[in-house]
């Protein structure tokens, strides 16, 4: 896969004012991103590159085990990804259907990504944040754990499909294992699985089961740390270091870089959109 995002990356935001000026005039579908670019430097880094914000609190010798800049897209690529997630007449973003079995799932030939995680990890809230540029898309969010009982499919134009999976653990559907395992093993157009972990409590026993399932099926997956707005800087740094060590030592199929996000402050959301656009082949 091409990796155009390695060329300049995050530092370009702060060293090349001309890039920011050009992007602020990008076009009408990039207005939301143009507003982000007007944030003060420190706040801009927190919103766009939260993992690199954590880096500031590490001693130099403590950074070597953190894969902070493997996915380090340029501002232009982040803007392109935001355009993909922006609903227009020509780029329809819609809920497609729900399914409780793989043979009931819609036959969608485009690339697919799915989101799995423990009940109450903030999965539906994260997907709603990803779709904030398409406000007509209804993503149901509940304060009660285990609200999602089916696989919910959302199409993003002609680019890819996003699948919201039921939560595992507390109040998981009785047929969760059959539903999710079959989907993960048989869905041929699945390009990446996003496994959500609560940044406040870290990896739990039920998360370990999901990780083992991804490893057993040889699936490429990513760990997304949710609810970073609820963690202090010190606690978040501790969790990042612990989970990064776990990824380095215990996994084979996990993408080495973690993705911290907040569905409340939108920190990390733009970067996650860009990664999704990249792994589905839309930034090549």
- Give the model confidence (pLDDT) of 143-199 as tens digits: 454 455 688 999 999 999 999 988 886 555 455 677 788 888 889 999 999 999 999
Q: How far apart are CA 4 and CA 13, in angstroms?
A: 16
Backbone angles phi, psi at 98, to 5 degrees: -125, 160
Q: Are strands 160-164 and 190-198 parallel, antiparallel or unpaired?
A: unpaired
N-terminal to C-terminal alpha carbon distance within the chain: 8
Three-state DSSP state, 147: coil
Please identify, in words, the CATH class of the domain defined by 16-280.
alpha beta
Which among 38, 15, 51 is positioned nearest to 258, based on CA atoms? 51
Rounded to whole angstroms, the Cα distance separating 175 from 154 reads: 22
Burial class (CB in 10 A: 0-12, 13-18, 19+), 180: buried
Beta bridge partners of 153: 97, 163
Whole-number pLDDT of residue 218? 94
**Averaged confidence pLDDT in the chain:** 83
CB 67 within 8 A of CB 257: yes
Check: CB of residue 87 under 8 Å from CB of residue 134.
Answer: yes
Q: Please report, for the chain, the start and end positions of each structural domain, with discontinuous segments joined by +.
A: 16-280
pLDDT tens-place string over residues 72-104: 888 888 989 999 999 999 999 999 998 888 888
Pick the range with the lowest mean pLDDT from 22-36, 56-70, 155-169, 174-188: 22-36
How far is C-alpha 23 from the chain's CA centre?
23
DSSP per residue over 180-202, as a string? HHHHHHH-TTEEEEEEEEETTT-
d(C-alpha 278, C-alpha 85), whole Å = 13
63-89 as b/e: b if 16+ CB within 10 A: eeebebbebbbbbbbbbbbbbbbbbee
Share of residues in the chain with pLDDT > 90 (%) = 49
pLDDT digit string (tens) for 194-232? 999 999 999 998 899 889 989 999 999 999 999 999 988
What per-residue confidence (pLDDT) applies to 261? 97
């Amino acid at each position: 896969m091409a990796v155009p995002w390695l060329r300049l990356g995050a530092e370009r935001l702060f060293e090349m004012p001309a890039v920011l000026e050009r992007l602020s005039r990008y076009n009408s579908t990039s207005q939301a991103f143009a507003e982000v670019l007007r944030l003060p430097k420190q706040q801009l880094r927190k919103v766009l590159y939260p993992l690199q914000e954590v880096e500031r609190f590490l001693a130099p010798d403590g950074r070597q085990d953190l894969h902070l800049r493997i996915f380090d897209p340029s501002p232009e690529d982040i803007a392109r990804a935001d355009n993909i997630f922006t609903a227009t007449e020509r780029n329809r973003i819609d809920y497609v259907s729900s399914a409780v079995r793989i043979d009931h799932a819609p036959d969608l030939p485009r690339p697919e990504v799915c989101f799995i995680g423990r009940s109450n990890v903030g999965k539906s809230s994260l997907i709603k944040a990803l779709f904030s540029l398409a406000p007509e898309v209804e993503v149901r969010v509940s304060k009660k754990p285990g609200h999602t009982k089916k696989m919910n499919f959302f199409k993003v134009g002609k680019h890819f499909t996003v699948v919201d999976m039921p939560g595992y653990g507390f109040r998981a559907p009785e047929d969760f294992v059959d539903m999710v395992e079959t989907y993960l093993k048989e869905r041929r157009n699945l390009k990446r699985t996003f496994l959500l972990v609560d940044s406040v409590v870290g990896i739990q026993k039920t998360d370990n089961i999901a990780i083992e399932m991804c490893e057993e099926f040889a699936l490429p997956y990513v760990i997304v740390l949710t609810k970073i707005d609820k963690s202090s800087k010190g606690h978040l740094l501790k969790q990042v270091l612990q989970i990064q060590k776990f990824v380095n030592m215990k996994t084979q199929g996990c993408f080495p870089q973690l993705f911290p996000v907040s569905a409340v402050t939108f920190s990390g959301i733009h970067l996650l959109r860009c990664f999704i656009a990249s792994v589905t082949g839309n930034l090549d």
